[in-house]
Amino acid sequence: MKKFNKTFDWRFWILMPILGIMLPYIVNKTALTVNFKIIFSLFIVNMLFSVLAGIFLRKTGSNWALLLVWPIVYLISVWLQINSAFYGYYLAVLYLVIEIFAFTSGQEEELDVEKQIPVDGGFREV
């Protein structure tokens, strides 16, 4: 139950609709240039959130399938025509890739290499 509570932390799950749907909607309603909107909200903020989402899901020991939730929330904003479909689908894939990199970082090596017993002659039948 403790693992379930850590994975479904309300702050994490509330930030997804805010950053995926509300932030692009608010930025689109302001009088900012299109380039600033794309660079600020879609690249800087959402990519940082993708990294944090991957790290959060790894630290809580969550299932890898939860990596799909953030890009799906972003795709909902594309479906609602808040973000452009021209680049929205590509950004959703990019967010997924960034999350996967953050989720799998640090898993390249065995943590207990020193504790393993060496087998000099290979495995033999007993």
* pLDDT tens digits along 4-20: 556 666 777 788 888 88
The total number of structural domains that make up the chain: 1
Write the CA distances from 1 to 4, 5, 8, integer angstroms. Answer: 5, 6, 11
* Structural domain includes residue 110: no
Does the pTM of the predicted model rise above 0.75?
A: no
pLDDT in tens, 67-120: 888 899 889 988 988 888 888 899 899 999 999 998 888 665 555 555 666 666
* Structural domain includes residue 23: yes
What mean pLDDT comes out for the span 33-59? 84
3-state secondary structure of 93: helix
* Structural domain includes residue 22: yes
| Residue range(s) defining the domain that contains residue 25 | 2-105
Looking at residue 32, its pLDDT comes to: 75
Looking at residue 2, its pLDDT comes to: 58
What mean pLDDT comes out for the span 29-57? 83
* Structural domain includes residue 54: yes
